[in-house]
Amino acid sequence: MHEKKYLPALLHGKCPRCREGNLFTYPIHNLTRFNVMNTLCPHCGVRLEPEPGFYQGAMYVGYGFTVGFIAFASFLLYSLGEFSDMVYISVCIGGMLLLVPFNYRYSRIVYLYLFGGIKYDARLSQTK
């Protein structure tokens, strides 16, 4: 039996149980539907929302991503030279707006993998 790796499955947005089914219905570059998430895994059928309101906790992960981005962008701008406050604000707000699809998806994916209580089952990871 071939075991699927944890990190590649997380980065590709795969189901934590079988690591084959997609968590999201549409690709991330579809800006009108990047947030549509499957209710059940299309491969193994596990429920991807363990309880009602489960993904409200993903806001904290998204907040962490945002703080990390702002710290990185500020450090980068500071390293490149002296800029006005408006440059810092514009870069941070513009970058956060561009990263909304990434932040939304990966905060949910990370939260599901860490706190969803869905354990990997190697028997389900064989391609049908």
pLDDT band, residue 128 (cuts 50/70/90):
very low
- Mean predicted lDDT score pLDDT of the chain: 92
pTM above 0.85, yes or no: yes
Considering only CA atoms, which of 2, 1, 8, 9 is closest in space to residue 118?
9
Predicted confidence (pLDDT) per residue in 42-91, tens digit: 999 999 998 999 999 999 999 999 999 999 999 999 999 889 999 999 99
Q: Give the other-Cβ count within 10 Å of 43's Cβ.
A: 19
Predicted confidence (pLDDT) per residue in 5-39, tens digit: 999 999 999 999 999 999 999 999 999 999 999 99
Which residues 6+ apart lie within 8 Å of 3 measured at CB? 122, 125
